[in-house]
């Protein structure tokens, strides 16, 4: 959750500097909005690439015009800050909006079938998030892991209750309390996070006690993540199923044509 | 909009009877919930098939257990009554939940790319709705057509403002008024529709004057529907692009493997 504390220029700049001291950092991605010119210049100056997430075609064009190298189109299915247009509609819209820029598809991808669908629709690759919350290698605390493994695809909500901007997370007592009619509306960003940042940190530290009021960012694909797996097994299955899916589609087209 | 008035058993039954007198009616689809046993029996007795839409895996299982022949999995992108799980997550979830039942994919499909993606993911076919709102053959009144053609993918909202259940439609003065903090919340179904049905009928009749307060059900794919086209051209493009998409995916896999 540490990255949530770095939402000002003053605290973000040193992060970029530290990242660039590591030679294996080839790409820096901006999750919220178009990265500012100084960040773009610094990263490009170091010979690395910049990516930026978007939830609308106009954001994709703004990213491209600013000099972003890779656009990540994230549909509403995705976890964390996300827009309200579904991946099935958003991906082709963004791909067509910035035809000369590589687009990665995000939002709802947890299996090779979804990966194949994204590639078929013209994405250059896929970007996954929730998939890594439930791997053995994740830093997810045990009680949060229980929440993630138990959640279904309908157990998430887009809420401003933690950061002030709409983000997808597991629905729990915290999100319900902020959504209630007799409680205040969340503030905007960054004010709401000033209200909640302490709770984020403590929730992570005392996750057992805080289980029902924790910040559990996750996309709707969390419904398919029901066991703890190793990263290498997840990757292997993704690739295998992607290939199988491609072959099924080719076979289907051949059968239909004959 | 006539079908909106047929939401009771008393008014639905004669509709089914009339439909079955036409020999070219091969399929009757239930848009909201599992069709009741008497409807299923009547349609099956006449040698026709029954389909039913769903927005969650548990609804798909209920449909199958009731004897529905075809399940239509509609993601949140779709127009009209729709759930909140995106197509990218919902489709494979439903396909896996009812492995022996044919599943059609719905929600966000307007081009052959989306159709190919759905088939690749294991759908037996696709189900489209918004796509037919802007064809030359549609009964869409001129001023409503203007609204549909002008809308972007972010101009829809899931609202209970017309029927009492969440349905996706164009955002306009009507939906905004019902969403305002200082106005009453919509009633449930069927009560809300008793409040609004007159407005639906009059809006359609005086669509010029009612343009900003009309019921304009539409999915997010409405953003890509920007000109009036003939049905045959739409179908032709769907099929052509679906084939092209399949070939692109096969080529991509081949290139990656070499």
The pLDDT tens digits for A194-233 are 999 999 999 989 999 999 999 999 999 999 999 999 999 9
CA-angle at A122, arms to A128 and A85, nearest 5°? 60
Range(s) within chain B of domains with CATH label 3.20.20.70? 2-128
Cβ-count burial of A17 within 10 angstroms (0-12 exposed, 13-18 middle, 19+ buried)?
exposed
Is residue A254 scored above 80 in pLDDT? yes
The CATH number, out of the four listed (3.40.50.2300, 3.40.1390.30, 3.30.70.260, 3.20.20.70), of the domain defined by the range A7-132: 3.20.20.70
A152 vs A204: which has the higher pLDDT:
A152
A122 touches chain B (CB under 8 A): yes
Least CA distance to B119: which residue of chain A? A249
Range(s) within chain A of domains with CATH label 3.20.20.70? 7-132
| DSSP code, position A72 | E
SS (H, E, C) chain B: CHHHHCCCHHHHHHHHHHHHHCCCCCEEEECCCCCCHHHHHHHHHCCCEEEEEECCHHHHHHHHHHCCCEEEEECCCCCEECCCCCHHHHHHHHHHHCCCCCEEEECCCCCHHHHHHHHHCCCCEEECCHHHCCECCCCCCHHHHHHHHHCCCCCEEEECCCCCCCEEEECCHHHHHHHCCCCCCCCCCCHHHHHHHHHHHHHHHCHHHHHHHCCCECCHHHHHCCCCECHHHHHHHHHHHHHHHHHHHHHHHHHHHC
**A233-250 average pLDDT score:** 95
The pLDDT tens digits for A90-148 are 999 999 999 999 999 999 999 999 999 999 999 999 999 999 999 999 999 999 999 99
Backbone angles phi, psi at B121, to 5 degrees: -80, 0
B241 vs A1: which has the higher pLDDT:
B241
What predicted TM-score, i.e. pTM, was given to this entire model?
Answer: 0.95
Say yes or no for a CB contact (<8 Å) between A116 and B119. Answer: no
Nearest to B244 by CA among A70, A250, A137, A59: A250
Measured distance CA(B85)–CA(A221) in Å, rounded: 9
**A47-58 average pLDDT score:** 98
Cβ-count burial of A10 within 10 angstroms (0-12 exposed, 13-18 middle, 19+ buried)?
exposed
Contact (CB, 8 A) for B76 and B83: yes
**Test the A interface: residue of B55, B74, B78, B89 with most A CBs within 10 Å:** B89
What's the pLDDT band for A8 if we cut at 50, 70, 90?
Answer: low
Q: Where do we find the tokens 């003053």?
A: A10
Cβ-count burial of A87 within 10 angstroms (0-12 exposed, 13-18 middle, 19+ buried)?
buried
Looking at residue A6, what is its pLDDT? 52
Contact (CB, 8 A) for A102 and A69: yes
Say yes or no for a CB contact (<8 Å) between B86 and A75. Answer: yes
Looking at residue A14, what is its pLDDT? 87
B253 vs A222: which has the higher pLDDT:
A222
User: What's chain A's average pLDDT?
Assistant: 94
Could you tell me how far CA B182 lies from the centroid of its own chain? 31
Dihedral angle computed from the Cα positions of residues A228, A231, A234 and A239, in that order, rounded to the nearest 10 degrees: 180
CA distance A224 to chain B (A): 8
Is residue A153 scored above 80 in pLDDT? yes
In A82-141, the DSSP E strands lie at 103-106, 125-127
Is residue A9 scored above 80 in pLDDT? no
Q: Which residues of A touch B114 (CB under 8 A)?
A: 88, 92, 121
Q: Which residues of B touch A119 (CB under 8 A)?
A: 249, 252
Looking at residue B2, what is its pLDDT? 45
Assembly ipTM? 0.94
Is residue B14 scored above 90 in pLDDT? no
Nearest-by-Cβ selection for B119 from A111, A122, A252: A252
Measured distance CA(B143)–CA(B137) in Å, rounded: 16
Is residue B258 scored above 80 in pLDDT? no
Say yes or no for a CB contact (<8 Å) between A121 and B221. Answer: no
The β-bridge relationship of strands B103-106 and B80-81 is unpaired
Q: Return the percentage of chain A with pLDDT > 90, whole number.
A: 88
**Test the B interface: residue of A58, A83, A89 with most B CBs within 10 Å:** A89
What's the pLDDT band for A7 if we cut at 50, 70, 90?
Answer: low
Is residue A2 scored above 50 in pLDDT? no
Nearest to B130 by CA among B233, B214, B219: B219
Least CA distance to A57: which residue of chain B? B153
B107 touches chain A (CB under 8 A): yes
Could you tell me how far CA B234 lies from the centroid of its own chain? 17
Is residue A175 scored above 70 in pLDDT? yes
A86 touches chain B (CB under 8 A): yes
Measured distance CA(B175)–CA(B164) in Å, rounded: 12
Is residue B21 scored above 70 in pLDDT? yes
User: What's chain B's average pLDDT?
Assistant: 94
Q: Which residues of B touch A120 (CB under 8 A)?
A: 113, 116-117, 120, 245-246, 248-249
Domain covering B2-128, topology: TIM Barrel (3.20.20)
Say yes or no for a CB contact (<8 Å) between A88 and B111. Answer: no
Is residue B1 scored above 60 in pLDDT? no
Q: How many CA atoms lie within 13 A of A119 on its CB side?
A: 28
Contact (CB, 8 A) for A174 and A156: no
Measured distance CA(A252)–CA(B120) in Å, rounded: 9
């Amino acid at each position: 959750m540490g990255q949530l504390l770095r939402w000002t220029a003053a605290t973000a700049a040193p992060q970029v500097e530290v990242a660039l001291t590591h030679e294996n950092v080839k790409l820096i991605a901006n999750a919220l909005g178009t990265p500012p010119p100084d960040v773009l210049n610094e990263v490009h100056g170091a010979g690395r690439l910049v990516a930026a997430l978007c939830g609308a075609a106009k954001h994709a064009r703004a990213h491209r015009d600013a000099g972003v190298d890779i656009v990540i189109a994230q549909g509403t299915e995705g976890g964390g800050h996300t827009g309200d247009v579904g991946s099935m509609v958003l991906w082709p819209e963004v791909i067509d909006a910035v035809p000369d820029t590589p687009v990665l598809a995000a939002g709802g991808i947890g299996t090779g079938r979804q990966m194949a669908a994204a590639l078929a629709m013209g994405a250059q690759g896929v970007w996954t998030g929730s998939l890594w919350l439930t791997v053995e290698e994740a830093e997810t605390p045990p009680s949060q892991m229980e929440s993630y493994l138990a959640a279904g695809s309908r157990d998430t909500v887009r809420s401003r209750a933690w950061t002030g901007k709409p983000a997808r997370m597991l629905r729990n007592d915290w999100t319900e309390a902020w959504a209630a009619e007799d409680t205040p509306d969340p503030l905007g960003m960054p004010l709401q996070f000033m209200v909640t940042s302490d709770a984020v940190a403590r929730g992570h530290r005392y996750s057992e006690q805080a289980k029902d009021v924790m910040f559990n960012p996750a996309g709707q694909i969390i419904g398919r993540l029901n066991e703890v797996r190793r990263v290498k097994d997840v990757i292997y299955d993704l690739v295998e199923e992607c290939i199988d899916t491609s072959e099924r589609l080719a076979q289907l087209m051949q059968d239909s044509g004959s």
